Amino acid sequence: MAKVALIVDFQLKPGTWEQFDPIIRAHAAGTKQDEPGCEQFDVLQPEIDGKPDHSRVMLVEVYKDEAAFAIHAASQRLVNTRAAYADLIEGRTISRCSV
């Protein structure tokens, strides 16, 4: 069975990075800790000319299979995290991939 990977690119509202960053990092840490099927969950900070681009944050997530991803997608943590950052983002792009 193929692994499921997500690449998520968040576009943040101006001035919200300092609020958004700890929310998404706590989500990543909690997911890795509580979901055995989560093999990787990295929070990436894009840069422009070697300086952090605080208008964006990216995630790379890898789940061992479809069942593990389904557990994550149905988790209360995900619901709570999305509610916590809803007013901080302008949008997000999610790319789902097979590994």
Decide: pTM greater than 0.85: yes
Q: What's the distance, Cα to Cα, between the start and end of the chain in Å? A: 10
Domains of the chain with CATH codes: 4-98 (3.30.70.100)
Query: Which residue from 7, 6, 12 is spatially nearest to 56, judged by alpha carbons?
Result: 12
pLDDT reading at 78 higher than 90:
yes
Average of pLDDT values for 62-87?
97
pLDDT reading at 12 higher than 90:
yes
22-59 pLDDT tens trace: 999 999 999 999 999 999 999 999 999 999 999 999 99
The interaxial angle of helices 76-85 and 17-34, nearest 10 deg, is: 180
